[in-house]
A = this chain, B = another copy of it.
């Protein structure tokens, strides 16, 4: 028997989640059964999309159940094995996050080959957020030579990869983020024009100044006023990859959309929402390209790390005030 703590959904939030919506519990893990392994999680991820799963509404991911563990991505180490697929010491990637350990069938877990990268990278730059950036930019927005790219939430896990992939491919990139640290990071990774949206209240004016020739691609992580500014600056046949709208995830009443959607017509703009799970076929190609960029020093990443499972709610809530620079992670091991 091993004790493992886990975080459960105690109550559904109205607006921004608070500590009261979460509950820390301890469970006993029996020895793994036939075909099973026991895993000690080393890292877990908190992501903005999880906010949607806290609501009791049908969406692309099923809602978290009250009183049950909030699952999500995690990287762990096999500590006991009754499975021929995995041995003690193997690293595994799973969807059994928000807990310190678990038992699972060995053939249901993905063995992680870290390829010389720190294992938590596979929750960020080399994982779901990274391939989200790649798929959104290359497939959804159909990035092509000469495109000027605007990305909001540019210092986040997805946004910072969007910015760097576009730079690696030779594009002019405008990124928006909030606060001096993030602005400095974006300049460091080569973003051509950085908009600090916490300082710059006229986003349309700021974007027009940063991209006097207009933008061709907008990668939206934020929605709201950012989307409005992007529509105003869009060139003919611009393509918008709509990945997230973190500005409205905690809205308690309907937040009106941008008032300038009619620009879609005259400018022939394509605005396409996507979720990354429909694009996982790109993962091998992405990892191959990423390896090359990392070796060439063209791509890097930042992590904001909270230590201890009990800090997971705080890390998660911090996403909505932009407390993370790069990937927000919780270190468990």
Chain A positions within 8 Å of B, measured between CB atoms, are: 52, 59-60, 223, 227, 242-245, 248-249, 254-275, 278
Copies per complex of this chain: 2
A39 and B258 CA atoms in complex are apart in Å by 45
A52 and B269 CA atoms in complex are apart in Å by 18
A59 and B234 CA atoms in complex are apart in Å by 12
A255 and B257 CA atoms in complex are apart in Å by 9
A33 CB to closest chain B CB, in angstroms? Answer: 36
Pick from B242, B256, B260, B278: contact of A264, CB under 8 Å: B242
**Ordered nearest first, which 7 A-B pairs have the shortest CB separation?**
A257-B257, A264-B273, A256-B256, A254-B259, A265-B273, A60-B266, A270-B272
A223 CB to closest chain B CB, in angstroms? Answer: 7
A136 CB to closest chain B CB, in angstroms? Answer: 11
A73 and B279 CA atoms in complex are apart in Å by 45
A254 and B258 CA atoms in complex are apart in Å by 9
Contact in complex: A245, B262 (CB < 8 Å): yes
Which chain B residues lie closer than 8 Å to A263 at the CB level? 273
Pick from B52, B244, B254, B265: contact of A243, CB under 8 Å: B265
Pick from B244, B254, B258, B270: contact of A265, CB under 8 Å: B244
Which residue of chain B has the shortest Cβ distance to A236 in the bound complex? B60
Q: Given that A257-B258, A258-B257, A260-B254 are contacting pairs, would A274 and B265 also be in contact in the complex, using a CB cutoff of 8 Å?
A: yes
Which chain B residues lie closer than 8 Å to A261 at the CB level? 223, 227, 242, 245, 257-258
